[in-house]
Amino acid sequence: MTRTGRLYGGTLYDLATEEGLSEVFLEQLVQIRDLFREYPDYPRLLMEPSVPFSERAKLIDEAFGEGTEAYLVNLMKLLCEKGLLNEFSSCTEEFERRYDAAHGISRAEVVSAVPLTDGQREAMQQKLEKISGRQIRLHETVDPSVMGGVRIEIDGRRLDGTVQGRLEGVTRRLNEAVV
């Protein structure tokens, strides 16, 4: 996470808390971040210096003006004007981090070779909540190099049940035995 993301995301979280809109902001920030990831040409267009800022601001208003909190629209315009729109994701991460800390939510990074099914996701979340005693927010990543199984990072702990992790363990033990 960048310094800019921490600054803007943290300030936005403070504002959302004061206004009683933290849940709304969180939901909309994540939706916008996901849209930017799904359509990367759009944020690139908004950062294009050859397009006048007034046109870029108009594009933001047209895309997000209706149904999006005005504070978030203004944040996008500010980041766009300063050439920092690529920091939007980092701002969202800081907002999520602050929100999670304030609400006793732990973030679990789950890496698997294939996407989890809804049933697997729900079962994993329930199991992690039971083990940790906290509400869990899952963030999934698909990485075919793990070959199978899952790797979970939560609260600074790593639980590695992947084929890749097991192979690395076997290799490490073999190397120790040979030396």
What is the dihedral sign for C-alpha 38, 116, 106, 100? positive
Q: Is 161 left (phi over 0), alpha (psi -120 to 50) or beta?
A: alpha
Where do the domains of the chain lie?
Answer: 3-100, 105-178
pLDDT over 70 (residue 168): yes
Degrees, nearest 5: CA angle 44-109-162? 120
Degrees, nearest 5: CA angle 82-86-91? 90
**Report for 12-26, 100-114, 134-148: range of highest mean pLDDT:** 12-26
Output the pLDDT for position 96: 93
State in words which class domain 105-178 has.
alpha beta
- For the chain, the straight-line distance linking the first and the last C-alpha, in angstroms and rounded, comes to 40
- Running DSSP on this structure, what letter comes out for residue 115? P
pLDDT over 80 (residue 165): no
Mean pLDDT in residue range 154-168: 75
Among 3.40.50.1000, 1.10.520.20, 3.40.309.10, 3.50.50.60, name the CATH number for the domain at 3-100.
1.10.520.20
Confidence of residue 177 (pLDDT cuts 50, 70, 90): confident
Percent of the chain at pLDDT above 90?
A: 56
